[in-house]
Amino acid sequence: MKNHEASVMVRLEKTTHDRSCNGGLQEMLQMPLDVLFEIFRHLTPGDLLSLSRTSKPFRGLLMTRESSSIWKDSRGNVPDMPDRPAFLSEPAYANLCFGYHCYVRGLTTYKTLY
């Protein structure tokens, strides 16, 4: 029985590795933009920030001024999140609240504001 469990684990690891190499999010880029934007509106700014860092097409899509309404809507998914200061862009504000880098001390942390 242990040989069977080991072979299943090897197959699962191989399957997971194969999927990650193929770029599972690439299929998502084939969706119509209005469907993608509707999905994005249900994410938090931290999720959008992470998604924008996964690939160049997502970065290009989410880091434009035209996508600021998506970021603004996503802020509404976080209870009690303050409004964005005027001197920060939407992605910069998301990075400030949800990012892991402390700009004051220059350290990487694993706690976020929200």
- Residue-level pLDDT, tens digit, the chain, 114 residues: 444 444 333 343 444 444 444 566 778 878 898 899 999 999 999 999 999 998 898 999 999 988 999 999 999 999 999 999 999 999 999 998 888 776 666 656 555 555
Distances (CA, A) of 61 to 19, 28, 93, 99: 23, 13, 17, 19
- Give the global pTM: 0.69
Distances (CA, A) of 107 to 97, 102, 104: 15, 5, 8
Q: Are 93 and 74 in contact (CB under 8 A)?
A: no
Helix (H) or strand (E) holding 34: helix 33-40
